[in-house]
Amino acid sequence: MPPRTTALAGLTVLALALTASASTGRLLAEPPTAAGPSAQARATTLGRCLIGGDLGVQMSEGIPTGPGYSRSTGTVRALNLMVDFSDAPGEGRAQDRLGEFFPQTTDWFRTSSYGRVDYRPEAPLQDWLRMPKPFKAYGIERGAPFDPGYRELVDDIVAAADPDVDFAAYDLVNILVTPNAGPSALDTVLSVTFAGNHEAPVADGVPISNASFVYSRQDDGSGNYDQTGYRVLPHENGHVFGLPDLYTQDGGGAVGHWDIMSEDWGANNDLLAWHKWKLGWIDDKQVDCASAPGTTEHLLTPLARTGGTKLAFVPLTKETGFAVEVRTRAGNDEVVCRPGVLVYRIDADVDTGHGPVTVFDSTRDSGGCTRSPNVHTELSDAPFTPGETFTDRSSGVRVTVAGADLDGNYRVHITRR
Ligand SMILES: [Zn+2]
């Protein structure tokens, strides 16, 4: 493993997801998952596969996503403000900072959502928006809570931008901070999202409840910054759509490079099928719910391809289950080195950053199959290939890869008690 990879291993602990207390949420007229069928109809067809967490979980893997987050399908209007400070004046043009993230972020969402997200980045202010206080005065550090520093910062952003910006016209806000404010991302990642935060300051009649803050540059020194550096933004925006962090204190060891909420450094990657279902990018009819005892067969199409069945789910309890999907090197997945059937466990009652998803490695302690920098190596060869079986002794669940056809579709047999 090259030294650079070693040095960065701990840095896969990326941007924190901080959410407002669930008790502060209010019901919206139009929940984020409004595009789907009604909750009652879903419960009938998908039954036990609509797992959920209890109310104590701030940001849960459960479906449907709770109220208060940004819509995740259709037209999503993103307000981008480039912010600088007297002790960290913007270097170069603010438009160049914007250009580090667009159009790549727009393309990423279009590809990952099969065209269901029409992400419209707007930057009504051309220049740096200068804050009235120096950067140091806001006390911004990794893990800083919303109060008091971020509240002050948002208050100051609103005051400075409001004459020229209609905050009510946007679904989410991206604050692209000048990269010279704060430490290098190699030292500590400050980027953060406050999602579903209805106690946020109000502008133009709406709370700034879904806002992503991006600091520094995620430049891994591989010379690929212009291709990979934007990826922190789709990660942060994943939070405004209600997705939790999948990395833990120990880094990306639970999910590896199989989801941008786990690793947003290095080569491009996609989201898990479970997340795409949660976001409304996969229809209910593209999900097989394996809740009946016995053995069932499922024909899964590659996740990166539009159409077909994308996910088989094996519910275990009201909060947990196993997910099964096909990952190949295509679409946003640039470094898949062992295509096949990915099996992982969802725990909807485990909170963001504490390991709500665990990928099972078909080849444990193999050292993985990728050499790509900043990609979790061990789990890179996690998928199961034809003839292989995943077995969970405690639940009695077995997932066997029965075969793959010439079109890249996989037949999977699921056996459960
Ligand atoms: Zn995050």
Among 333, 379, 339, which residue's Cα sits nearest to residue 359?
A: 379
**How far does the centroid of ligand 1 lie from the alpha carbon of residue 95, in Å?**
25
- The residues whose Cβ lies within 5 A of ligand 1, an ion, are 15, 17, 245
Q: Give the Cα separation of 31 and 22 in Å (integer).
A: 15
If phi > 0 it is left, if psi is from -120 to 50 it is alpha, else beta; for residue 346 that is: beta
**How far does the centroid of ligand 1 lie from the alpha carbon of residue 103, in Å?**
21
Residue range 139-155, pLDDT digits in tens:
999 999 999 999 999 99
pLDDT exceeds cutoff 50 at 348: yes
**How far does the centroid of ligand 1 lie from the alpha carbon of residue 295, in Å?**
37
**How far does the centroid of ligand 1 lie from the alpha carbon of residue 255, in Å?**
14
Decide: helix, strand or coil at residue 236: helix
Contact 180, 192 (CB under 8 A): no
Enumerate residues 6+ apart whose C-beta is below 8 A from 79: 122, 123, 124, 165, 167, 169, 170, 172, 173, 174
pLDDT exceeds cutoff 80 at 130: yes
**How far does the centroid of ligand 1 lie from the alpha carbon of residue 235, in Å?**
6
The per-residue pLDDT for 38 is 64
Amino acid identity of residue 217, one-letter, is R
pLDDT exceeds cutoff 50 at 222: yes
Share of the chain above pLDDT 90, in %: 85
Contact 167, 204 (CB under 8 A): yes
**Residue written as tokens 């994308």?**
310
Contact 323, 310 (CB under 8 A): no
Q: Residue length, the chain?
A: 417
**How far does the centroid of ligand 1 lie from the alpha carbon of residue 19, in Å?**
11
Among 296, 336, 300, which residue's Cα sits nearest to residue 314?
A: 296
Residue range 32-61, pLDDT digits in tens:
444 445 667 777 778 899 999 888 899 999
Give ∠ CA 356-358-362 in degrees, rounded to 5. Answer: 170
> Lowest mean pLDDT: which of 18-27, 218-227, 302-311?
18-27
pLDDT band at 29 (very low <50, low <70, confident <90, very high): very low
Token output for 368: 């993985």
**How far does the centroid of ligand 1 lie from the alpha carbon of residue 79, in Å?**
19
**How far does the centroid of ligand 1 lie from the alpha carbon of residue 261, in Å?**
6
Among 71, 34, 25, 276, which residue's Cα sits nearest to residue 171?
A: 71
**How far does the centroid of ligand 1 lie from the alpha carbon of residue 15, in Å?**
4
Q: What integer is the mean pLDDT of 325-348?
A: 98
**How far does the centroid of ligand 1 lie from the alpha carbon of residue 232, in Å?**
8
Q: What integer is the mean pLDDT of 303-321?
A: 97
**How far does the centroid of ligand 1 lie from the alpha carbon of residue 385, in Å?**
31
If phi > 0 it is left, if psi is from -120 to 50 it is alpha, else beta; for residue 381 that is: alpha
**How far does the centroid of ligand 1 lie from the alpha carbon of residue 399, in Å?**
30
pLDDT exceeds cutoff 70 at 260: yes
Q: What integer is the mean pLDDT of 255-271?
A: 97
pLDDT exceeds cutoff 80 at 180: yes
Q: Give the Cα separation of 263 and 253 in Å (integer).
A: 10
Query: What residue segments make up the domains of the chain, in order of their start?
Result: 67-240, 284-416
Q: What integer is the mean pLDDT of 331-353?
A: 98
pLDDT exceeds cutoff 70 at 30: no
The per-residue pLDDT for 47 is 84
Q: What integer is the mean pLDDT of 103-109?
A: 98
Among 325, 311, 322, 347, which residue's Cα sits nearest to residue 397?
A: 322
Average pLDDT, the chain: 91
Residue range 83-92, pLDDT digits in tens:
999 999 999 9
